[in-house]
Amino acid sequence: MRVDSEDDFVPPASDTLDRNDLTPGKEHLRIQIFSGDEKKPTEETLLVGREDKDYFYARLATDEGTFKIQKKLLTPILGGTQIAPRSCARPRSGADRDQRGRRRHA
């Protein structure tokens, strides 16, 4: 996933996260990517917030820097469904994860 241009980065302000629904726990969608191996797993989390025209506001969970991503970039993940405020693409029961939060393989 990438940002199209430098214009897609949102200037920092004290209310940026609140205004764009990117405060932890208030995001509309949370996408977690796990990679690496069992000895050294890596996790990246993308928080997706407010929708505006043809893009969503987003940020990495580890960084408060906010940027805009095109809606079409999320189409393969969402499968054409709409993002409703504070919804999840897939409910997380935790049953498919081990104690460290890594996905269990069947």
Query: What's the pLDDT tens digit per position in 46-105?
Result: 999 999 999 999 999 999 999 999 988 888 887 756 665 554 444 444 455 555 555 555
Name the strand (E) or helix (H) holding 76: helix 75-78
Residue 56 · residue 22 · CB < 8 Å: no
pLDDT mean over 30-37: 87
> What pLDDT score was predicted for residue 93?
43
Alpha-carbon distance of 85 to 105, in angstroms, equals 31
Nearest to 44 by CA among 57, 28, 62: 62
Alpha-carbon distance of 22 to 64, in angstroms, equals 9
pLDDT mean over 7-16: 92
